[in-house]
Amino acid sequence: MVEHGCTIDVSIYGALIAGFCQEERLEEAQGLVHHMKERGMSPSEDIYNFLLDCCCKLGVYAEAVRLVDAMVENGLLPLLESYKLLVCGLYIEGSNEKAKAVFHGLLSCGYNYDEVAWKVLIDGLLKRDLVDECSELLDIMEEKGCQPNPQTYSLLIEGLERT
């Protein structure tokens, strides 16, 4: 592209990275991010979220945690769905302390009192039969001043019925 006079900007990189991530080709996507940074461009929030989602789908949770840290350092906010995948994935692989740390990071990023955030996480844990972790999140939710509503309780009851 460059040889033909076309300029590659963040949006073009973003489209390419999104495509690689959709195809679960994480190494190629990361290579493009490295290429971007070499040219003085910073990845956008969308680019980070594409990478984060891909890492979670591939089960590369250590890299996903690193991406979340990088996003927060740069003032960017991971998508709630990506956080859910990451927290649930960490619990599934047995990294409970890391999952709790990421979850507490989520709380410090502005999702503190958003009931939707809590419900998404609780739903994700229940779908993976992580009932104990779900109960712990419910306790934290109440500590943070967010009272579960009837939909949250229904979600919990449905999840418990499945287990």
Domain ranges of the chain: 1-78, 84-163
CA distance 13 to 133: 38
Band of pLDDT at residue 125, cut at 50, 70 and 90: confident
CA distance 101 to 71: 15
* 3: pLDDT strictly greater than 90: no
Mean pLDDT within 128-151: 80
pTM of the model: 0.74
Band of pLDDT at residue 81, cut at 50, 70 and 90: confident
pLDDT: is 131 or 70 the higher one? 70
What average pLDDT does the chain have?
A: 84
Q: CATH second-level architecture of 1-78?
A: Alpha Horseshoe (1.25)
* Residue found under tokens 């979670």: 56
